[in-house]
Amino acid sequence: MEIPIDGGDSISESEGGDLDEDGFPWVSFSDEEAIDRTVGDDSERESFASEFYRSGTEWSCLIDSKEKKLVQADLFRMWGFKRPSQVQEGSSSRVSSKKMRRSDGGDRSIGPAKKGSVGGNNRPRICPFYKKIPGTSFTVDAFRYGRIDGCLAYFLTHFHGDHYGGLNKGWSHGPIYCTPLTARLVKMCLSVNPQYICPLELNVEYIIEGIKVTMLEANHCPGAALIHFGLHDGQSYLHTGDFRACKQMQSYPILLNKRIDVLYLDTTYCNPKYKFPLREEVVNFVVKIARNSLENRPKTLIVVGAYSIGKEHVYLSISQELGVPIYTNASRRRILQSFGWHELSGKLSSDGHSTPLHVLPLPHLRHENLKQYLRTQGQSFTSVLAFRPTGWTFSESIGSQLDRIRPNSNGNVVIYGVPYSEHSSFTELREFVQFLKPKKIIPTVNVGNAAHRDQMQSYFRQWKLDAARKEGAHFYHPGPKFVTDRGLNGKIQNGSRKE
């Protein structure tokens, strides 16, 4: 079944296949404008621009600024792969039949891959280096590049279009590893041959191609996972996919008191201006507004905007608190039922007239669209109260004072933009990084602009310095080089300086 899936909620890369000199996707002028619209205002853009040409390429290293800069070519060499070159579509390399097994037993054979091309676009695309896991034959969220030379396992962090893009029923490039919920969606919505779909349970360690792999709850959309890779040589990498960092992650056994060498980080909101409130606070606010509205105008239609998946907690909470079912179309109902969440499935209704709570695609939430939608509802409703839950609606002037949010009203349609984000705020990112103390951070979102990468790198350095100062002044050495490291007890080891 082909269903309209909107493209996730972050801008991660351009549609073109070219990479810039740092190995990141080349951003065309229009793409860059789009990113600037989402990341910074005009004054920030000027300062970004002024830094653009002097920005270095040490963005991925959490090393002292006095450390010799690593140019990108060195990074490629260090991680054991060549600087990317044009990938030939339908190259002769083939993914061989491999096995994965749970480290506690269990086994599964993966069929041999067949030749094929990525559907829908014949332009060769080059997989950016940050989608490859060094020292492994793995890639993460890299489906739009067709067959990737040397890749034996394609990992999918979650089912948002900007991550699974390129996956379709013709996929034959190799096994796809993801959580069971994501696996169901890949099969149901994209008709990918089940032979290639390999579900991995959360919190279970698997051995794949000799590498330890563990999926962890990412607190993003249903089925989203952080992926932890443990290599033969003791190196460990964490790929966050898209995630919203939370306190609970600090109790994950595989992260607690363990060293992370490289953190692939969702940097969607890696800008200090993003300090949105906890999701629970936003949900409480939405429920309060909805309740008041229904009490004052019983014929109000409440509309919640949502992507294909994500934001379920917003409308489920309204449903639970106000005791009303949730109406949405058959495609979305099918997707929601596939989650296996009985509480949610039990609330779904196929009759729009029987409930004042409707879920519509987020881009549909415009005054004209909603007025037209209201007309299709006959006499059941006389006005619309709509919620657009997304971090992009965050306003610095409102901060966490949700009561200061002013809706956008036009006639009998009222739209609230509410800062309900399924990505980490800047402060949550900082806390997560300071907890994890990775040796290196590789940003994975908003990386198409060297100035943004440079800016993010400066934040990472500051976080590291602040954390070191908090741990105790004796851990902070303004000497020639200091690499953050942790021993078995999880504390920064004094003297872990590496020359």
Stretch that binds Zn ion, among 21-29, 188-196, 234-242, 344-352 (CB under 5 A): 234-242
Binding-site size, Zn ion (CB under 5 A): 3
Smallest distance, Å, CB 84 to Zn ion?
25
DSSP for 131-166 reads GEETTTTEEES--TTSS-TT--EEE---S-HHHHTT
Nearer to Zn ion, 8 or 352 (CB): 8
- Among residue numbers 22 through 61, which ones bind Zn ion (CB under 5 A)? none
Residue 122 burial class via C-beta count within 10 angstroms: exposed 0-12, middle 13-18, buried 19 and up: exposed
**DSSP H or E segment with residue 105:** strand 105-109
Stretch that binds Zn ion, among 76-84, 186-194, 237-245, 371-379 (CB under 5 A): 237-245
- Among residue numbers 67 through 106, which ones bind Zn ion (CB under 5 A)? none
Smallest distance, Å, CB 12 to Zn ion?
9
Stretch that binds Zn ion, among 4-12, 51-59, 146-154, 359-367 (CB under 5 A): 4-12
CA distances from 437 to 141, 429, 441 (A): 24, 12, 10
Strands (E) across 218-318 are located at 225-230, 236-239, 262-265, 300-306
Smallest distance, Å, CB 466 to Zn ion?
28
Asked if 21 and 7 count as a contact pair (C-beta separation under 8 A), the reply is no
Residues 437, 442, 448, 453, CA torsion sign: positive
Smallest distance, Å, CB 161 to Zn ion?
9
What 3-state class would DSSP assign to 253?
coil
Amino acid 38 reads T
Residue 391 is a binding residue for Zn ion (CB under 5 A): no
Q: One symbol per residue from 246 to 285: x for binding Zn ion (CB under 5 A), - otherwise; what is it? A: ----------------------------------------
Residue with tokens 């919620």: 387
Nearer to Zn ion, 12 or 484 (CB): 12
Smallest distance, Å, CB 242 to Zn ion?
3
Smallest distance, Å, CB 446 to Zn ion?
14
Nearer to Zn ion, 8 or 419 (CB): 8
Nearer to Zn ion, 160 or 347 (CB): 160
Nearer to Zn ion, 136 or 219 (CB): 219
Asked if 377 and 360 count as a contact pair (C-beta separation under 8 A), the reply is no
Stretch that binds Zn ion, among 64-72, 182-190, 241-249, 315-323 (CB under 5 A): 241-249
Smallest distance, Å, CB 244 to Zn ion?
10
Stretch that binds Zn ion, among 7-15, 48-56, 181-189, 393-401 (CB under 5 A): 7-15
Among 91, 24, 103, 96, which Cα is nearest to 57's?
A: 24
Smallest distance, Å, CB 226 to Zn ion?
13
Smallest distance, Å, CB 355 to Zn ion?
28
Phi, psi of 159 (to 5 degrees): -95, 65
Stretch that binds Zn ion, among 2-10, 52-60, 330-338, 484-492 (CB under 5 A): 2-10
CA distances from 428 to 220, 279, 312 (A): 13, 12, 21
Stretch that binds Zn ion, among 75-83, 110-118, 235-243, 455-463 (CB under 5 A): 235-243
CA dihedral 94, 100, 337, 333 (to 10 degrees): -20
Residue 440 is a binding residue for Zn ion (CB under 5 A): no
Smallest distance, Å, CB 266 to Zn ion?
8
Q: 102-109 long-range contacts, Cβ below 8 Å, gap at least 24?
A: 102/204, 102/205, 102/206, 102/207, 103/205, 103/206, 103/207, 103/212, 104/204, 104/205, 108/198
Stretch that binds Zn ion, among 8-16, 41-49, 248-256, 338-346 (CB under 5 A): 8-16
Tokens at 111, concatenated: 């069929």
Nearer to Zn ion, 32 or 242 (CB): 242
Residue 356 is a binding residue for Zn ion (CB under 5 A): no
Residues in the chain: 499
Whole-number Å distance between alpha carbons of 138 and 151: 5
- Among residue numbers 130 through 169, which ones bind Zn ion (CB under 5 A)? 160
Asked if 166 and 110 count as a contact pair (C-beta separation under 8 A), the reply is no
Nearer to Zn ion, 163 or 347 (CB): 163
Smallest distance, Å, CB 154 to Zn ion?
17
Nearer to Zn ion, 22 or 242 (CB): 242
Angle at which helices 426-436 and 450-471 pack, to 10 degrees? Answer: 60
Whole-number Å distance between alpha carbons of 176 and 186: 10
Tokens at 131, concatenated: 């989608």
Find the binder of Zn ion among 242, 266, 428, 431 (CB under 5 A): 242
Nearer to Zn ion, 125 or 311 (CB): 311
- Beta-sheet pairing, 225-230 with 211-217: antiparallel
Residue 8 is a binding residue for Zn ion (CB under 5 A): yes
Site residues (vs Zn ion, CB under 5 A): 8, 160, 242
